[in-house]
Structure 1
């Protein structure tokens, strides 16, 4: 097990380097250090001296990928990409271009993101599996057909529509919940009800169809026909065999998501004014704050890789036949 984990970690290093390279390349294709300096200085008239001083203070005076003026290996090492990437790989996120400590911001903003993401994930998972089991129990019936039509309709509508429609109906028309905002503690629950409900509802269509396909595949296997031949009822077959054996493919989509939950949702947090990591990242993109952008992309990549490793490890817990070589 330990050897497998170490091998996966080593395989992850070139992936993270590639993600960093793409992040640097894409960001500086549409932004220049001069544009970033003007955006951060905020002055109506910025002199070349002010811009150059800002670039030196933040390390943006170095070449991006190749330093032709440096000798030997310094041509590659004395570059913005290598200098900033080395800090990221030891999880030193440093300061944002506006001067804030990124690590402190991440710790502060991860809790509002978790307050939305964790309930949405748990409630959505239980709801989707329960509905999928119900549909499989009545497979081939009019209920099955009607439910699948509704699921496809839910999937076909943009998530922005649910957010805007929910804010109009539940906040502006019925005044049940605040339209946006956030506060800590139990008082903040009233601000979370609507985004959690929208997050669960908008994911029902895709989740229900996916779990239904998993359970239907299990229903057609030989061991299910054997269980029925022994006289077991559909309910006992469904909950005693199908659900248990269907957990392995479900883990693929569940465990990999868990480490990334606190990263937040860009759109949801922005529309509802939740000060989480999603809105933090979006605000950084709008402000051309590359310090935050590169840190969030790197952190998200690390968490996703951790999720993949945890998924493989969980296979061995639910299926003894799976061995990690």
Structure 2
């Protein structure tokens, strides 16, 4: 197990370097350091001296990928890519273009993101699996038929519609909760209630249909027929045997999603004015702050790799036949 984790950790290094390189290339295809300076300075006419000063202060005065003026390894190390990327491997994200510390911003904004993402994840998992089991229990009946139609209908509606409709009905029309904003402590509940409900409902259709498909596949296997032949009730077969054996495909989707909890929701946080990592990323893209975008992409890649490792480890806990070598 330890050897496997070490191998995956070593595999992550070239992956993260490649992600950094692709992000760097795509960003600077759109923008040059001069363009970034003009946007950050926010002045109609910016003198070349002001642009050069801004670039020097933030380390954008060097070549992007290759420095022809240097010798040896300095041709690669004395570049924007190397100096901006290598420190991230020790989670030193540096400063944003506006001077704020990125690591500190991530730490402070992670709590609001988790305050939304964790309830949506946990409650959503319970609600979605329960509905899927209910549809399978009453399969080939009107409950299953109309349940599938409802799921398809929910899948066909954009998540943006749920946000706008929820804000209009619950906040503006009924005045049950604030339309946007955030407060720390227990007062955060009134701001998080509507985003959490919308998060669960917006993913209901696709998740329930997926779980239903998994459960139906398990229902046709030999061990289910054996359990029925022993006289076990349909309820015990479904909730004990089928659910237990369906955990591996469920974990494949569930554990990989766990790291995404720490990245926040781009749409929900932006529309509800919640100062999480999702809105932080959107603001960075709008202001073309490469330092923040690069840090968030790197952080997301690390969490995704961690999620894949956790998925493989969780397989061994659910199915003893699987062993990591």
The reply to whether TM is greater than 0.5 is: yes
**1:222 paired residue number:** 222
**1:23 paired residue number:** 23
Matched, 1:204 2:216: no
SS of corresponding position for 1:257:
helix
**1:315 paired residue number:** 315
**2:178 paired residue number:** 178
Unaligned runs of 5+ in 2: none
Choose 272-281 or 144-153, whichever is displaced more: 144-153
**2:146 paired residue number:** 146
SS of corresponding position for 2:10:
helix
Shift of 1:40: 1.5
Matched, 1:263 2:274: no
Shift of 1:259: 2.5
**2:291 paired residue number:** 291
1:1-325 alignment, distance < 5 Å = 1-325=1-325
What is the rounded CA distance, in whole Å, between the counterparts of 2:117 and 2:237 in structure 1? 33
Shift of 1:21: 0.7
What is the rounded CA distance, in whole Å, between the counterparts of 1:308 and 1:175 in structure 2? 42
What is the rounded CA distance, in whole Å, between the counterparts of 2:239 and 2:147 in structure 1? 21
Deviations 1:43-77 (A, max 9, x none): 33321001001101111111111122222222222
Choose 67-76 or 196-205, whichever is displaced more: 67-76
What is the rounded CA distance, in whole Å, between the counterparts of 2:152 and 2:219 in structure 1? 22
What is the rounded CA distance, in whole Å, between the counterparts of 1:57 and 1:220 in structure 2? 65
What is the rounded CA distance, in whole Å, between the counterparts of 2:222 and 2:280 in structure 1? 51
What is the rounded CA distance, in whole Å, between the counterparts of 2:19 and 2:149 in structure 1? 39
SS of corresponding position for 1:75:
helix
What is the rounded CA distance, in whole Å, between the counterparts of 1:162 and 1:70 in structure 2? 55
Unaligned runs of 5+ in 1: none
TM-score scaled by structure 1?
0.98
Choose 201-210 or 11-20, whichever is displaced more: 11-20
What is the rounded CA distance, in whole Å, between the counterparts of 1:184 and 1:143 in structure 2? 42
What is the rounded CA distance, in whole Å, between the counterparts of 1:255 and 1:271 in structure 2? 27
What is the rounded CA distance, in whole Å, between the counterparts of 2:246 and 2:40 in structure 1? 52
Choose 294-303 or 9-18, whichever is displaced more: 9-18
Shift of 1:284: 0.7
What is the rounded CA distance, in whole Å, between the counterparts of 2:165 and 2:240 in structure 1? 40
Deviations 1:206-263 (A, max 9, x none): 1001111111111110000000011111001011100111111111111122222121
SS of corresponding position for 2:320:
coil
Choose 137-146 or 66-75, whichever is displaced more: 66-75
TM-score scaled by structure 2?
0.98
What is the rounded CA distance, in whole Å, between the counterparts of 1:41 and 1:322 in structure 2? 57
Shift of 1:32: 1.3
SS of corresponding position for 2:94:
coil
SS of corresponding position for 1:115:
helix
What is the rounded CA distance, in whole Å, between the counterparts of 2:148 and 2:173 in structure 1? 30
Show structure 1 runs of 4+ deviating over 4 A: none
